[in-house]
Amino acid sequence: MKGSRLERLASDVVAATLAELPRELLEVARSVPVRFEPVPGPDLLAEGFEADILGLFSGSPHGSGETDPPQIYLYTANLWDFAEGDVAAFREEARLTYLHELGHFLGWDEDQLAARGLD
């Protein structure tokens, strides 16, 4: 599937996921821009990230008092490969990955994410 189609699918998933969030999280979640890229760039690979990561949160967590602008990245080609070309699996993994990265924005560590089924 072409990159633009994957980006539209992932964008639709994020919009639907936002619509399902509790009201108290919705405003906070909407404050974090989501970027869709096929794969991580060479700068991230040079930092030691795996080439097949599905998503990434960068910036300062909500309420941390730090000023790095938050962003969530979803890597659509990697998500597509992970889903083995299945649209339903892609949608579910994009949803899970978005929520996982949103959890990092909220300050949750890997154990807290796992406890919520977002690992």
What is the reported pLDDT for 1? 76
What is the reported pLDDT for 90? 98
Cα torsion 15, 35, 5, 82: sign: negative
The answer to whether the CB of 61 falls within 8 A of the CB of 105 is: yes
Range of the domain at 75: 3-115
At 41-94, the pLDDT tens digits run 999 999 999 999 999 999 999 878 888 999 999 999 999 999 999 999 999 999
The answer to whether the CB of 10 falls within 8 A of the CB of 79 is: yes
Strands 71-75 and 34-37: parallel
For residues 20 and 11, what is the distance between their CA atoms, to the nearest angstrom? 14
Give the chain's domain count.
Answer: 1
Supply the CATH number for residue 94's domain.
3.30.2010.20
